[in-house]
Structure 1
Amino acid sequence: MKALINTSEGLIFKTVADPSPAPNQALVAVRAFSLNRGELALLAARTEGWRPGQDVAGVVVEAAADGSGPTPGTRVVALVEDSGWAELAAVPTARLAELPDEVEIEQAAALPLAGRTALNTIRLGGNLLGRKVLVTGATGGVGHYQVQLAVLSGADVTAVARSGADYGAAKAVPSITDAEGPYDLVAESSGGESLHHAIAKIAPGGTVVVLGTSSGAKAPIDVYDFIGHEGARLVNYMSYADPSPINRDLQTLSKLIAQQKLTTDLGFHADWTQIKVALDELRHRTFRGKAVLTIQ
C-alpha cells in the first residue's frame, strides 16, 4: 500500500507493507483524512520515518478477529494514534464508529480530533441552558464545532470570528475585547492576551477551558486577576488525556451530522497528493474550518 512518511526532507509517498491488525483492530481502507494544527508541530519534531495521521474515515475491509466492531463493508470514522495518512489503517474498534448513511466520508473525516475536543470542552461547562458562552478561535477546526455544540446545548453564544462566520451564534465579534461578558463558560484556544481577557470576562463561579495557544504567546496569570471573578476555575484540556470513550463520542458527533444539527466547514478539500499544499495553507491560516484530503 501507499503511505505518507515524514523524513528530514519532508513528507514523501512510499510503498510499505499492509498493516497486520491486532485481534482488537479492524483493517480500514482509508477514503479520506483531515489535518489538525497539532500535527504541524509533530511533523517538525518527528522527522525520521514517522507515519502521521489521526483523523480517518473509510470502509472496513477486515473485521477485528476478536469479534468486536463492525463487519466488512461498513463505513466508519476513526481517531487513530498515528499512521492514518495511508491507504490502509489498523484501527482499534474502541476508536471507531459506524457512519449513518446520511454522513458523507469527507464530512466524517473532519470530525474525530476537532469534533471530540469541541464536544468534551463544551461538556466541561455543565448545564448550559440559558447560560452565556464565549468561544475564541470560532472559525478554526475546533472552534466552529464548539459554537454549534454550545448553541445546541441552549446557550447564548458569542463567537470570536474575524471572518464574520458565526455558525449559529447569537453574536459574532472580531476580537475578544469586543465581547460583552460576563460569561459562564469561555472556550479559550488563543492564549496570551486572549487568556487574560477571558479571565476578565468570566462570571464568578464560571469556567475558562484552556485548550490551546494558537497565538504562540504566553500569559503569566496572577491570583489577583480573579478579583471580581471569585470561584471561577481554569480547566486545562488535553485531548490525549480525555477519558471519554472515543467510539461513543464519534457516534454522537456522527448522529448530529446525520440529523443536520451539526455541520462541518471544509475549508480545504483536495486529493491526498496535495498534502503539502494543504499543510502550507493550514500553517498560514488561509482557510477556515477543516482541511480534508481524499484517497482515490
Structure 2
Amino acid sequence: MSTRALIVDPSAPEHIGFGTLPEPVAGPGQVLIEVSHASLNYADLNNARNGRIPAGAPVGLDAAGIVLQAAADGSGPAAGSRVVLFADGAFAERVAVDTSAVAEVPDGVDPAQAAALPTAGLAALRSLRAAHTGPGKRVLVTGASGGVGRYAVRLASRAGAHVIASVGSLARGDGLAEAGADEVVVGLDDIREPVDIVVETVGGPHLVTAWRLLAPGGNLQSVGWTSGASAVFPPYATVGPPKTLTSYVNEFAAADDLAELVRLVADGGLVPEIGWRGSWERFAEAADALRSRRVAGKAVFDLPSHR
C-alpha cells in the first residue's frame, strides 16, 4: 500500500511534483493522520530548492486532518479526533507524526482554517511573545498582507499594542484595519515616530529601514525574507543606543502553541484569512500566486477523502 504526496522533484516547476511513498507507519509516540487540508508557505517552496528536503521526500509543514490511529504509548489525541499538525512532510494523503506536533481542533473550527495556522500563526505568536508585546507598545508589521503579517496584526492588537501595518500597495491593505491595525501604510517612508517592536517579513531594504525606525531598547524580529533582496546597512547603522535584531525560526514540538492558536480561532480572537483555496492538484497555480504576491493571507489545499 502507498500514499500519494507532493515531493521534491527537481524536474518539476518549483521543484515539487506528485509522487507515491510507502504507507506511513506510526511509531510508539506518533499518530497516523489522514490529511484533509494543507497550507502552502514560502518555506515549502524554498525547502524544495535549498537542499533541506532531499529529492523524493515529501514537502509541506502545515496540515489538518483526522487521527486514524492513536499513539501506542497513550500520548496525544484519540482515533477519530480532528487535529492540526506542524511537521515536515505534511503534504501527503496520510502522515505519521509525533504527538508533540499535533493539537486537537475544537468543534466549530473549520479544518481548512486550522490548516492555515501553523507556520504563519506560530511565527506571529512566538515572535510577538519573544519581543514582549503588550499595551502601549508601538508594533510595526512589515509585509502585513501576508500570512504571518495578518496574524501578527491581530495578535498584537489583541495584546493592546498600537499596530502599524506596512503593505506593498493600498489594495494589499484591505481588511487590515478591521483586523486591528491602527495605521495601514504603503512602504515605510511615511512612518515618522520610532517603534518598539518590528515583526519583519520582507527582508532586503525593508529590514534596513525598519531597523532605523526601531526605538532605543526596541526589538526587531526577523521572521521572513520574501523580497529575496540583500540588506545593506550604511556605516554606523548598528552603532548607537542599544536595540536588538533577533533571528527567528519556527521550532517543532509545537503542540501547546498550536492548541493556543486554535483556541483563539474558536473564541473569535483570531481569524485565519484564506486568500487562495483549491484542490492540491492545482499546486502549481497556488505556488505561482504565492510567489507573485497575489495571495492575501494563506493558500490552502483540499485533499481528496478516501473514507
TM band (smaller chain)? over 0.9
User: Which residue of the other structure, out of 164, 184, 190, is the alignment partner of 2:173?
Assistant: 164
Correspondence for 2:106:
100
After superposition, the C-alpha distances for 1:49-73 in whole angstroms (9 at most, x for unaligned) are 1211110100001000110001111
Q: What residue in structure 2 maps to residue 72 of structure 1?
A: 79
The equivalent of 1:51 in structure 2 is 58
Kindly state the Cα deviation for residue 125 of structure 1 after the two structures are TM-superposed.
1.8
Residue 222 of structure 1: CA displacement?
5.8
SS in 2 for 1:142: helix
Aligned residues, how many?
291
Quote the Cα distance in structure 2 between the aligned partners of 1:234 and 1:8: 35
Residue of structure 2 equivalent to 1:293? 301
Gaps of 5+ in 1: none
Any idea what SS the aligned residue of 2:189 has?
helix
Tell me the secondary structure at the aligned position of residue 207 of structure 1.
strand
Distance 1:291 1:127, change over 3 A: closer
Supply the AA of the counterpart residue of 1:236. Answer: S
Residues 6 and 180 (structure 1), Cα distance of their counterparts in 2 relative to 1, 3 Å cut: same
Contact 1:147 1:169 in 2 (8 A): yes
Q: Which residue does the alignment assign to 2:209? A: 197
Task: Name 1:219's counterpart in structure 2.
Answer: 231
Please tell me whether residue 139 in structure 1 is matched to residue 139 in structure 2. no
Map 1:1-296 → 2, pairs under 5 A: 1-10=3-12, 11-46=16-51, 48-81=55-88, 83-161=89-167, 162=169, 163-165=172-174, 166=176, 167-221=179-233, 224-226=236-238, 230-240=241-251, 245-296=253-304
Distance 2:131 2:91 in 1: 34
Which digits, 9 at most, give the CA deviation of each residue in 1:138-190, with x for residues without a partner? 01111111111100110000000221232220010011112232111011121
TM-aligned CA deviation for residue 127 of structure 1? 4.3
- Quote how far apart the aligned CAs of 1:44 are: 2.4
Q: TM-score, normalised by structure 2?
A: 0.90
Give TM-score scaled by structure 1 length.
0.93
1:15-39 superposed Cα distances (whole Å, 9 cap, x missing partner): 4321011111000010000011011
- State the AA in 2 paired with 1:218: S
| Cα pair 1:181 1:202 within 8 Å, conserved | no
Q: Does the CA contact (< 8 Å) of 2:133 and 2:156 recur in 1?
A: no
In the aligned structure 2, how far is the partner of 1:106 from the partner of 1:258? Answer: 13
Whole-Å Cα distance in 2 between the matches of residues 164 and 48 of structure 1? Answer: 38
Unaligned runs of 5+ in 2: none
Equivalent residues of 2:205, 2:232 under 8 A apart: no
Q: Is the 8 A contact 1:191 1:212 kept in 2?
A: yes
Rounded Cα–Cα distance in structure 1 between residues aligned with 2:278 and 2:196: 39
- Measured in 2, the distance between the counterparts of 1:220 and 1:196 equals 7
